[in-house]
Structure 1
């Protein structure tokens, strides 16, 4: 239920944003059309009856104001997009740091040797046994023995289970990905109930 509501809220926000941008572009298009039609009417002479100068001034002032408003809102939209990009990069950096910390913790808990740590890291990255052997300049048999030792120490039977250990832990404890001082959803919910 909550996931459906979140998805719907996200779609509503995106549709509001699309409507806002559409309105902004429409206003700018109308304002630009006022200036272009004024220039073309002078150049081509398609307007046979001139409009009153007061009305013309009002139209030009409104068109200029609309273009300035569009410029300001466009700058604001660009600022928001850049801010969201920076936030996403920061979250990605924290996630990468948290994953590196988690790897180091687990490797230490399992008592992996430095060679086994390298092999485990390459295996988690998805490299084949032959690729790991080439990178480490060892035989494939050595790499296979090291991966078997890693799986035994980690209590798993293969590479997919090894990777799932880390994914499950990161999903279970999202505090590694949150900035310090920001409560988790569960903590916020408990705070509201209490």
Structure 2
């Protein structure tokens, strides 16, 4: 299960709503500008309070359209930067996990079990997914904990969280902290 602070569809919906509001506001500005031009053409004077109010409204609407366009562009840029950051973080996490596993000399089966532990699966679920006996998974998990010098599932998971929060360059640094 993937948890996102702000679902992708919500961000896209917000951008679409903002674009719609910009379009609506632009149409209103066009109406007021054309009305001001027509009234000025007929009357030829700007001393009419109604005409002055329409001119101010048209200017405000145009200013709003420009402001909203800038905001929409900034929103789209932030969305792109956030996605890029998430992609980088995901790639870095995978790299950190692989470095740890390499340093601990985990077997392929132990790597599978360790990844599933990190994903939050319990031993019985891991056994079902891997089509092995729960006892085999328990033995492999125990081996993973021993090789990582952790005392169980919670400490094993916290090792990776601590590594990500600390931003350490070498996986052994996280192991030394817990020893």
Q: CA deviation at 1:53?
A: 6.0
Taking structure 1 as the reference length, the TM-score comes to 0.61
CA separation in 2, counterparts of 1:84 and 1:134?
41
String of CA shifts for 1:31-70, please: whole Å, max 9, x gaps.
99xx6xx9xxxxxxxxxxxxx8632333222211111111
Q: Structure 1: which 5+ runs fail to align?
A: 1-27, 39-51, 176-194
String of CA shifts for 1:90-135, please: whole Å, max 9, x gaps.
1111111111000000001000001110100000110011110111
2:81 matched to 1:81? no
Q: Structure 2: which 5+ runs fail to align?
A: 1-24, 36-44, 170-179
After superposition, the Cα gap between the structure-2 partners of 1:147 and 1:74, relative to the gap in structure 1 and judged at 3 Å, is same
Aligned match of 1:54: 47
2:135 matched to 1:141? yes
CA separation in 1, counterparts of 2:168 and 2:96?
12
2:97 matched to 1:97? no
How many residue pairs get aligned? The number is 130
Structure-to-structure mapping, 1:143-162, within 5 angstroms: 143-162=137-156
2:178 matched to 1:173? no
The correspondence for 1:70, drawn from 60, 64, 68, is 64
Aligned structure 1 segments of 4 or more residues deviating by more than 2 angstroms: 52-59
CA separation in 2, counterparts of 1:174 and 1:57?
66
